[in-house]
Amino acid sequence: MSERVVRVGMLGCGTVGAAVARMVQERAEDIERRAGVRLRITRVAVRDVQRERDVPIPAEAFTTDGEAVVDDPEVDVVVELLGGVEPARSLLLRALANGKPVVTANKELLAQAGDELARAAGDRGLDLAFEAAVAGGIPLIRPLRVSLVGERIRRVMGIVNGTTNFILTQMSDHGWSFEQALAEAQRLGYAEADPTADVEGADAAAKCAILASLAFDSRVRAADVYREGITGITAQDIADAARLGYAVKLLAIAELQDDAISARVHPAMVPTTHPLASVRDAFNAVFVEGETVGQLMFYGRGAGGGPTATAVVGDLAQVARRLVDGGRAAVAFRDLGRRIRPMDDTLGQYYLNLHVEDRPGVLAEIAERFGRSGVSIERVWQEGHGDEATLVFITHRALEGALQKTLTDLRGLDCVRAVSSLLRVEGEEG
Q: Give the residue with the Cβ less far from ligand NAP, 192 or 344.
A: 192
For the chain, the distance separating the N- and C-terminal CA atoms, rounded to the nearest angstrom, is 51
- Rounded to whole angstroms, how far apart are CA atoms 240 and 53? 48
Which residue type does 178 have?
Answer: F
14: DSSP letter: S
Diameter over CA atoms, the chain: 85
To the nearest whole angstrom, how small is the minimum distance from the Cβ of residue 27 to ligand NAP? 19
Q: Give the residue with the Cβ less far from ligand NAP, 47 or 411.
A: 47
CA 219, 209, 112, 146 torsion-angle sign: negative
- Rounded to whole angstroms, how far apart are CA atoms 72 and 84? 23
Nearest residue to ligand NAP, scored by beta-carbon proximity: 14
- Rounded to whole angstroms, how far apart are CA atoms 204 and 168? 15
Q: Give the residue with the Cβ less far from ligand NAP, 84 or 371.
A: 84
Q: Give the residue with the Cβ less far from ligand NAP, 189 or 327.
A: 189
To the nearest whole angstrom, how small is the minimum distance from the Cβ of residue 37 to ligand NAP? 23
To the nearest whole angstrom, how small is the minimum distance from the Cβ of residue 210 to ligand NAP? 12
Nearest 5°: the CA angle 154, 155, 158 is 165
To the nearest whole angstrom, how small is the minimum distance from the Cβ of residue 14 to ligand NAP? 2
To the nearest whole angstrom, how small is the minimum distance from the Cβ of residue 23 to ligand NAP? 13
Q: Give the residue with the Cβ less far from ligand NAP, 17 or 195.
A: 17
* Residues ≥6 apart with Cβ < 8 Å to 169: 280, 281
CA 320, 323, 326, 328 torsion-angle sign: positive
The catalytic residues are 207
Give the ranges where 326-399 is alpha helix by DSSP (H).
Answer: 362-372
To the nearest whole angstrom, how small is the minimum distance from the Cβ of residue 7 to ligand NAP? 19
To the nearest whole angstrom, how small is the minimum distance from the Cβ of residue 410 to ligand NAP? 41
Which residue type does 13 have?
Answer: C
Give the ranges where 11-63 is alpha helix by DSSP (H).
Answer: 15-26, 28-35
The residues binding ligand NAP (CB under 6 A) are: 12-17, 45-48, 51, 64, 66, 81-83, 87, 105-107, 132, 136, 303-304, 308
To the nearest whole angstrom, how small is the minimum distance from the Cβ of residue 63 to ligand NAP? 9
Give the ranges where 99-177 is alpha helix by DSSP (H).
Answer: 107-124, 141-142, 162-174
* Residues ≥6 apart with Cβ < 8 Å to 260: 338, 339, 340, 341, 345
Q: Give the residue with the Cβ less far from ligand NAP, 13 or 153.
A: 13
For 108-113, the CB contacts below 8 A with 24+ separation are 108/83, 108/84, 108/206, 108/222, 109/80, 109/84, 109/85, 110/206, 110/210, 111/205, 111/206, 111/207, 111/209, 111/210, 111/221, 111/222, 112/85, 112/206, 112/221, 112/222, 113/85, 113/89
Which residue type does 144 have?
Answer: L
Q: How far is CA 396 from CA 255, 264, 377, in A?
A: 18, 19, 6
